[in-house]
């Protein structure tokens, strides 16, 4: 794994202040970051009024790295309070940053949420939680969070994943690997672009795991799109034992290549990592949580980009295991 620097986009002080002021005014008006139709409508209106400087920094990912770090938001550690013990107890902790991230997400596309995850909020709290240390979810800590496509099981998954840092005193890294940086043989690509295995719902979607409305759909791990290769990858929830030896070997080589090109991104307070969810798999290195209010604390938002064509058309027929994505600004 490389520690090479991720591409950085720097907000100038005026633009960062404009974003912060807008978030503070919205929070003062609505009194909460818990999303409501009225708040979402006002967020869309405010985001539509931002100037070209912010819009330029929020332009689509434009390198083979498939990601960038947006830098320049100020986070005052003494003002944000203790790191929540879990997402369920976070409530409005760090609420102004929820709204700032929601504004950025709206400039980039259409924020989405999930009825079955974190009470349907559009911005999630990612914190270590007691009793979840070894799970393959954002609440884990002591295990490697395996590289994966966010919500890979679902055809309505985000095009962009945003991770905003409020606190990270131990420099715990997010890992990221772009399919555009890998070198794969044509024979492996031919195998992995076939729909052979399903991707099952992860542990953050308990209701989806019990879905009995249809057989799990087989999906391709790779897709050769008009603009280049994309991927849909979550080995922790892919029943690889059901595939033949040739497919498993090709999948293993894909995993090895992703590990080879993986980079470690250690976010600091106020930095936002933006990941193209069609190009990049992300994970997290293991760490030992203290549970004393000083642990790593991230905010997460998911974004769809209207009109984007980076996925096989066959995905439209998938049942999504009964899970419904909520759109902030449905068309």
Q: Rg of the chain's alpha carbons, rounded to an integer?
A: 19
Closest CA to 273 of 165, 169, 163: 163
Spell out the alpha helix ranges (H) of the chain.
Answer: 13-30, 37-48, 52-57, 77-80, 87-90, 95-108, 186-192, 206-209, 245-261
Entry pTM: 0.96
Which pLDDT score is estimated for 115?
85
Closest CA to 99 of 83, 76, 122, 119: 122
What 3-state class would DSSP assign to 278?
Answer: coil
Helix and strand tally (H, E) in the chain? 9, 14
Residue 170 burial (10 A CB sphere; 0-12, 13-18, 19+): middle
Q: What domains can you pick out in the chain, each with its CATH number?
A: 8-327 (3.60.130.10)
**Which ranges of the chain have pLDDT less than 50?**
none
* Joined tokens for residue 103: 């504004």
Which residues does 98 contact at the CB level (< 8 Å), separation at least 6?
Answer: 33, 92, 121, 123, 299
Strands (E), 168-284: 174-178, 222-225, 228-231, 263-265, 272-276, 280-284
- Distance CA(136)–CA(126), nearest Å, equals 13
- Distance CA(254)–CA(221), nearest Å, equals 9
Which pLDDT score is estimated for 3?
53
Which pLDDT score is estimated for 218?
98
Taking the CA of residue 124 as centre, how many other CA atoms within 13 Å lie in the half-sphere pointing to its CB? 25
Which pLDDT score is estimated for 331?
67
- Distance CA(82)–CA(296), nearest Å, equals 10
* Joined tokens for residue 203: 């542990």
Q: What is the pLDDT of residues 179-203, one digit of tens each?
A: 999 999 999 999 999 999 999 998 8
Which pLDDT score is estimated for 2?
58
DSSP 127: -
Distance (Å) of CA 199 to CA 113, 118, 217, 262: 20, 21, 8, 22
Which pLDDT score is estimated for 250?
98
């Amino acid at each position: 794994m490389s520690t090479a620097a991720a591409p950085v986009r720097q907000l100038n002080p005026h633009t960062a202040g404009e974003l912060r002021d807008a978030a503070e005014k919205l929070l003062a008006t609505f009194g909460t970051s818990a999303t409501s139709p009225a708040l979402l409508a006002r967020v869309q209106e405010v985001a539509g009024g931002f100037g070209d400087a912010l819009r330029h920094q929020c332009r689509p990912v434009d390198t083979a790295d498939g990601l960038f770090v947006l830098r320049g938001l100020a986070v005052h550690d003494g003002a944000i309070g203790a790191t929540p013990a879990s997402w369920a107890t976070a409530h409005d902790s760090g609420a102004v940053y929820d709204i700032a991230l929601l504004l950025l997400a709206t400039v980039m596309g259409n924020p989405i949420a999930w009825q079955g995850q974190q009470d349907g909020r559009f911005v999630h709290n990612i914190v270590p939680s007691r009793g979840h240390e070894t799970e393959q979810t954002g609440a884990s800590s002591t295990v490697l969070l395996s590289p994966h496509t966010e919500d890979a099981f679902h055809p309505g998954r985000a095009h962009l994943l945003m991770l905003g840092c409020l606190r990270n005193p131990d420099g715990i890294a997010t890992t990221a690997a772009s399919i555009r940086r890998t070198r794969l043989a044509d024979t492996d690509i031919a195998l992995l672009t076939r729909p052979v295995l399903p991707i099952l719902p992860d542990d953050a979607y308990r209701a989806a795991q019990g879905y009995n409305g249809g057989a799990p759909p087989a999906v391709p791990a790779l897709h050769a799109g008009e603009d280049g290769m994309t991927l849909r990858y979550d080995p922790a929830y892919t029943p690889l034992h059901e595939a033949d030896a040739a497919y498993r070997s090709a999948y293993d080589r894909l995993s090895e290549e992703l590990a080879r090109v993986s980079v470690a991104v250690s976010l600091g307070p106020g930095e936002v990592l933006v990941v193209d969810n069609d190009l990049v798999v992300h994970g997290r290195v293991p760490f030992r949580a203290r549970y004393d209010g000083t642990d790593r604390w991230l905010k997460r938002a998911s974004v769809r980009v209207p009109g984007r064509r980076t996925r096989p058309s066959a995905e439209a027929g998938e049942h999504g295991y009964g899970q419904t994505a909520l759109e902030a600004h449905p068309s």
